[in-house]
Amino acid sequence: MKKRIIVVGGGFGGLSAAAHLAHQGWDVTLLEKNDQVGGRARVWKTDGFTFDMGPSWYLMPEVFEEFFRTFGVERSSYYDIYRLDPYYRVFFSPEEKVDISADRAAVERVFDQLEPGGAEKLRRYLAQAEYKYNVAMGEFLYKEYRNIFQFLNRRLMTEGLKLNVFSKLDNFVERYFKDRRAKQILEYAMVFLGSSPKNAPALYSIMSHVDLNLGVYFPHGGMTSLVGGLSKLLTELGVTVELNAPVDQILVEDGKAVGVRSRGDSVRSDAVLVNADYPWAEMNLLQPEHRTYSAKYWNGRVLAPTMFIVYLGLNRKLPQLVHHNLYFTDPWDDHFADIFDRPRWPETFSYYISCASFDDPTVAPADHENLFFLVPVAAGLDDTDEIRAEYYERVLSHFEQLIGERVRDSIVVSRIYSHRDFSADYNAFAGSALGLSHTLGQTAVFRPSHRSKKVDRLFYSGQYTHPGVGVPMTFISSKIISEAVTRELA
């Protein structure tokens, strides 16, 4: 008879963990509190528009290819992807923008224009980024760290200096580039890892290899197509998925997790894997004596930003945009300070604009535009209707100045999403969109453990755990812990 495991939460971490566990022989039931799986990658459909509500960058495609091949299938049987070109457009001002394209020679010309010798500097920078990426993927990212000695091993000690684990990204990039704009292009990804270039380990220069060497892709139909592909795979693997099934207690007997309580019923199992928001699950689903981490611990962590998001549907096209667009304010240090050093709604801000309808006609009616604006802001801030109205106006006014034309008269669909929505929809701690920031003190073994230290057979996956924030990272997290669960309990 198969052993049974309950997976709490249907984000990418829960979906991918459920697939691994079913493939490894478990009887898997996944309980999701919302009316659709995908976690932050839910979708909002209205008036012919399909908005990805969360992740919108498809990076590190080999992680997804390898995931599906684990089950003896190809990713292309579940959803299609295409390579973006350009990868993204960067606006520095209304008068200055650059495209980062799939053509390496064109990108090198951009860097030559930004700084003397920029092309050669970029080649050297990307060479070290590729080296670090290959070492990290082969040696560090796919490992579970249960104690500091597993992390501080001989390989890390010998490679640590080369990997720049112990130095800061901003200082590291400064060795190659002095121009503000060049540095911003190489450092912007830290926001999507929930960090600041001044706080993130220089190891994360690997992100430049990820977008400039490996490339930026997108699934046809949006990121929801990835969710749909995973759902199809789970059906094939025999996973039971229950929607509208919130969990209000993890059942513990004799120091072991023996199931959960959901919708008034006890659901028994041999183990429990939690993909719900880690601090919320610990503080709300467990008795105090069963919690690995206290409220004091969570309140002392460096939280990643949350996002002030505006979804807009326009009844016309905007030729000024490509699929991914970034605006960088000058200087951007003040924006990062408003997130990490003096948490408050920012005075000036950089932001991201998704325009998926640029090259995917399925996400908007014909001759319409599907946009969402994303402004990183500190977690834990007041999120009132008045603040939302103010920042909606500020974002829209700035965007109109940036592209040089009025768009508000063309808006046919709009929605704002921020702190209180993340908390309500995902039980997000302090309304955070991304969980814990990637600082040296919150990397690898220093992130919350994949397994409870107080309750046997209770495990965790997702962005709070190693290797951290980002869709590929949650897939890796789930692979790590599902293999450990099966190795120890099956």
Write the pLDDT tens digit of every residue in 431-460. 999 999 988 888 777 899 999 999 999 999
**For residue 38, pLDDT beyond 90:** yes
Please give the Cα distance from 150 to 129 (Å, whole number).
24
Range 281-304 average pLDDT: 96
Share of the chain above pLDDT 70, in %: 96
Average pLDDT, the chain: 94
Q: Helix (H, G, I), strand (E, B), or coil: what is residue 9?
A: coil
Range 194-218 average pLDDT: 94
Please give the Cα distance from 111 to 113 (Å, whole number).
5
**For residue 337, pLDDT beyond 70:** yes
Computed on alpha carbons and rounded to an integer, the radius of gyration of the chain in Å comes to 22
pLDDT at 163: 78
pLDDT at 301: 94
What pTM does this model have?
0.95
pLDDT at 429: 97
**For residue 159, pLDDT beyond 70:** no
* Structural domain boundaries in the chain: 4-37+62-73+221-300+436-489, 103-214
Q: Helix (H, G, I), strand (E, B), or coil: what is residue 271?
A: strand
Q: Helix (H, G, I), strand (E, B), or coil: what is residue 92?
A: strand
Confidence bin at 147 (pLDDT 50/70/90): low
CA nearest to 302, candidates 469, 136, 419, 152: 469
Range 267-289 average pLDDT: 98
List, in order, residues 6 or more apart from 105 with CB less than 8 Å away.
none
Range 212-228 average pLDDT: 97
From 3.40.630.10, 3.50.50.60, 3.20.20.240, 3.30.70.560, which CATH number describes the 4-37+62-73+221-300+436-489 domain? 3.50.50.60
Q: Burial-class residue 35 by CB neighbours within 10 Å (0-12, 13-18, 19+).
A: exposed
**For residue 353, pLDDT beyond 70:** yes
pLDDT at 151: 61
The better pLDDT of the pair 204, 147 is held by: 204
pLDDT at 154: 56
pLDDT at 384: 98
pLDDT at 439: 87
**For residue 396, pLDDT beyond 70:** yes
